[in-house]
Amino acid sequence: MAPTFTNSNGCPITPDAFATQRVGKHGPLLLQDFNLIDSLSHFDRERIPERVVHAKGSGAYGYFEVTDDITDVCGAGFLDTVGKKTKTFTRFSTVGGEAGSPDSARDPRGFATKLYTEEGNLDLVYNNTPVFFIRDPSKFPHFIHTQKRNPQTHLKDANMFWDYLVSNPESVHQVSILFSDRGTPASYREMNGYSGHTYKWSNKKGEWFYVQVHFISDQGIKNLTNEEAGKLAGSNPDFAQEDLFKNIKAGNFPSWTCYIQTMTQEQAKQAPFSVFDLTKVWSHKDYPMRRFGKLVLNENPKNYFAEVEQAAFAPSHTVPYMEPSADPVLQSRLFSYNDTHRHRLGVNYTQIPVNCPITGVFNPHMRDGAMTVNGNLGSHPNYLASDQPVEFKQFSLQEDQEVWEGAACPFHWVAGDAEFEQASKLYEVLGRYPNQQRNLAHNVAVHVAAADAPIQDRVFEYFSKVSPKLGQAIQKETLELSPRK
């Protein structure tokens, strides 16, 4: 039977959806026409604040399955048995563009997965690149502004884009990945996901490890050339959303094989870089990849706004035996993501079905607030009352795991020319494949050609420190595209 058409109050609207109350047949409208006011005022409020970053995204449900035992590394419940499956929701995104921007933008891709575990939600808020542009979180708003629009012209601005990057050379590793062909993935299915940050996992004996996580695409890596990406931006700006939705609908479920790299505290002390430095990867040779699971996406959301736009991921949403490390960018993300959700969705955002833990939530002091829709714990006391005992689960103790001491002091982490070492290694990796080094130079040149000459010169110098050959190739093509007078 067809549903009865009603206003938001449930009252049937009669005689049809478009009849408005007015004086006579052609006179002015009446303020008493609640149905019209109800409809227009709801329409006026359809938009919630767009995410400042990661605004354009696509999502799908799926599951995580344990394929190999890693209980010697991590005691989390969802990992305790090989074959165990946990429901997931994953959201992919571009970073810098607005909600309507093209999916083919040269930009890192967000790769965030929520696991609805029996110990609460675990959010893996990853990217498709293993490193990032910064390691001092105070730089984040500055950096992001330079990749967005000029405050006066409201245009993307090659001068501020490159001025920031060359002034902050810790960005060079990520910039080199971004301007390689991996900067324009052919779909969300055909790219990897990386934790980027180091995390700290412990087993049930209390032994602990620094961990990096890699989700390697079972579809293989496929990328667009700069020119293909540019064309798609005009002909099908939503191609990645279309690709994901249609493949899942057709039963062609994308999957990723999940690996960890681990380091003990002693190994971390010996490593040639800090494990808390988000601009560095851990060499595969020195810290081998160990398989532990599979992520499969097999169900499209029923409603984009309810499930994808309102999905709220945060690195602070974690489970027992999985902790953040002291990586300063991760530490600041522990604050910033939840803060954004409170701004966009309200203080009760975890009550929205896509964000709601399957465990149930019991914290009787956290009550009320806008949009309380879960019964608000009824008549239960709104504090820890002495006659209402609660249970506290005990997990292995972390007291002796990492001990920090020192004066509270301002610290800006500057590393000098060591910044360029891993970007140089990447350039060597690109040399193993046809055209990859050439494409990196080309992709930078077509972008930096729009910048002023002094900025271009600094970009040539910046990439020359990765490889003199790369710097020269960029300079040659840039000057052909934007000849100096």
Stretch that binds ligand NDP, among 159-167, 246-254, 303-311, 421-429 (CB under 6 A): 421-429
Which of 130, 183, 293, 320 binds ligand NDP (CB under 6 A)? It is: 130
Measured from the CB atom, the residue of 281 and 345 that comes closer to ligand NDP is 281
- Please indicate if the annotation marks 337 as binding a ligand: yes
Active site residue 54: yes
Per the CB < 8 A criterion, the answer to whether 313 and 340 are in contact is no
Which of 192, 255, 318, 325 binds ligand NDP (CB under 6 A)? It is: 192
Q: Measure the CA dihedral 345/349/353/356, to 10°.
A: 160
Q: Among 469, 440, 443, 474, which residue's Cα sits nearest to residue 458?
A: 474
- Judged by CB under 6 A, the chain residues 200 through 219 that form the site for ligand NDP are 214, 216
How many other CB atoms are there within 10 angstroms of residue 3's CB atom? 5
98, containing H or E segment: none
Per the CB < 8 A criterion, the answer to whether 352 and 312 are in contact is yes
Measured from the CB atom, the residue of 93 and 192 that comes closer to ligand NDP is 192
Q: Which residues lie closer than 8 Å to 89 by C-beta, 6 or more apart?
A: 59, 60, 61, 62, 113, 114, 116, 307, 311, 354
Q: Which residues lie closer than 8 Å to 403 by C-beta, 6 or more apart?
A: none
Under rule CB under 6 A, how many of the chain's residues touch ligand NDP? 18
Q: Among 470, 480, 483, which residue's Cα sits nearest to residue 176?
A: 470
- Judged by CB under 6 A, the chain residues 252 through 291 that form the site for ligand NDP are 281-285
Stretch that binds ligand NDP, among 83-91, 318-326, 419-427, 459-467 (CB under 6 A): 419-427
d(CA 271, CA 275): 8
For the CB of residue 430, give the shortest distance to ligand NDP in the complex, in Å: 5
Show the tokens assigned to 311. 């999905």
Q: Alpha carbon of 312 to those of 132, 339, 347: distances in Å?
A: 21, 11, 12
Measured from the CB atom, the residue of 112 and 213 that comes closer to ligand NDP is 213
- Taking CB under 6 A as the rule, does residue 127 contact ligand NDP? no
- Taking CB under 6 A as the rule, does residue 183 contact ligand NDP? no
Q: Which residues lie closer than 8 Å to 465 by C-beta, 6 or more apart?
A: 169, 172, 417, 420, 471
Per the CB < 8 A criterion, the answer to whether 199 and 325 are in contact is yes
Per the CB < 8 A criterion, the answer to whether 67 and 39 are in contact is no
Strands 57-66 and 199-202: unpaired
Measured from the CB atom, the residue of 105 and 455 that comes closer to ligand NDP is 105
As a whole number of Å, the CA-based R_g of the chain is 25
Measured from the CB atom, the residue of 214 and 341 that comes closer to ligand NDP is 214
Measured from the CB atom, the residue of 110 and 130 that comes closer to ligand NDP is 130
Q: Using DSSP, state whether 354 is helix, strand or coil.
A: helix
- Taking CB under 6 A as the rule, does residue 226 contact ligand NDP? no
Measured from the CB atom, the residue of 34 and 273 that comes closer to ligand NDP is 273
Please state the φ and ψ torsions of residue 260, each to the nearest 5 degrees. Answer: -120, 150
Measured from the CB atom, the residue of 261 and 300 that comes closer to ligand NDP is 261
Active-site entry in 7, 42, 121, 127: 127
- Taking CB under 6 A as the rule, does residue 429 contact ligand NDP? yes
Q: Alpha carbon of 409 to those of 36, 142, 252, 353, 412: distances in Å?
A: 59, 22, 53, 42, 10
Active site residue 127: yes
For the CB of residue 445, give the shortest distance to ligand NDP in the complex, in Å: 18
- Taking CB under 6 A as the rule, does residue 189 contact ligand NDP? no
- Taking CB under 6 A as the rule, does residue 418 contact ligand NDP? no
DSSP 392: -
- Taking CB under 6 A as the rule, does residue 22 contact ligand NDP? no
- Taking CB under 6 A as the rule, does residue 476 contact ligand NDP? no
For the CB of residue 266, give the shortest distance to ligand NDP in the complex, in Å: 20
Helices (H), 306-367: 328-345
- Taking CB under 6 A as the rule, does residue 145 contact ligand NDP? no
- Taking CB under 6 A as the rule, does residue 177 contact ligand NDP? yes
Which of 87, 156, 344, 425 binds ligand NDP (CB under 6 A)? It is: 425
- Taking CB under 6 A as the rule, does residue 178 contact ligand NDP? no
For the CB of residue 357, give the shortest distance to ligand NDP in the complex, in Å: 31
- Left (φ > 0), alpha (ψ -120 to 50) or beta: where does 369 sit? left
Which of 426, 444, 445, 451 binds ligand NDP (CB under 6 A)? It is: 426
- Judged by CB under 6 A, the chain residues 48 through 107 that form the site for ligand NDP are none
- Taking CB under 6 A as the rule, does residue 436 contact ligand NDP? yes
The residue count for the chain: 485
Residue nearest to ligand NDP (CB): 426
Per the CB < 8 A criterion, the answer to whether 173 and 181 are in contact is no
- Judged by CB under 6 A, the chain residues 107 through 126 that form the site for ligand NDP are none
Task: Indicate which residues carry an active-site annotation.
Answer: 54, 127
Q: Which residues bind ligand NDP (CB under 6 A)?
A: 130, 177, 180, 182, 192, 214, 216, 281-285, 422, 425-426, 429-430, 436
Q: Mark the binding-site residues, compressed into ranges.
A: 337
